[in-house]
Structure 1
């Protein structure tokens, strides 16, 4: 189980800082720091750093094996994130779907793609025992 005194850190490439800030702020992430070559966000309680590196952008991303995101423990928060993504016209990589329907690990999910083609998954498990 997660300790509340720890913060996960992820560093990813970005193409352009302004569009990156716009995207992540629309997700509800707080801009923590900005430098000439990177921006750091409070990403739902964890730290995501987007490094300006346009030559490192994946031009044809796939969901597997590389993506990151949030697993919501409350369905209302998942619904709110989905509604916000639709309202703010964020780019969907995969529209909302149910995975593993009828099985213990059934969950609702959708994927967004940020301006540098990083893939973000947002999901909610009906059975909280399946989160980990």
Structure 2
């Protein structure tokens, strides 16, 4: 586990700043900074920076291998984000599903797609030892 004095940082491309801000704020992420070429969010305790780069957008995104997201340790937090996404009509790339059913690494997951085709995965493992 990481120490609580560390924050993971991820930089991704975005095609337009305002629509990016709207998406991530609806998701529940707090806008930390906004510049002419990028926006920074508190993404569930970590830092996501969306850099304006319309030419860098993946026009045909696939779930694997490129995505990012959150693995929840509490099922209630997973369900809260899922319900928030549904209620705020955020675009799903993949509805809620079960992966590896019946195996120790079984987990529930769903994917959202942001306005720049970045894929976000949210998941919860039934066995907490499988998180890492």
TM-score w.r.t. the length of structure 1 is 0.99
2:10 maps to which residue?
10
Superposed counterparts of 1:37-52, under 5 Å: 37-52=37-52
Structure 2 unaligned spans of 5+: none
Deviations 1:36-80 (A, max 9, x none): 000000000000000000110000001111000000000000001
Deviations 1:18-51 (A, max 9, x none): 1000000111100000000000000000000000
Q: Distance in 2 between matches of 1:2 and 1:103?
A: 27
| Count of residue correspondences | 132
Structure 1 unaligned spans of 5+: none
> 1:112 Cα deviation (Å)?
0.3
Where do 4+ consecutive residues of structure 1 move more than 4 Å?
none
1:76 maps to which residue?
76
TM-score w.r.t. the length of structure 2 is 0.99
* RMSD between superposed Cα atoms in Å: 0.4
1:58 maps to which residue?
58
Q: Distance in 2 between matches of 1:3 and 1:67?
A: 24
Deviations 1:85-120 (A, max 9, x none): 000110100000000001000000000000000000
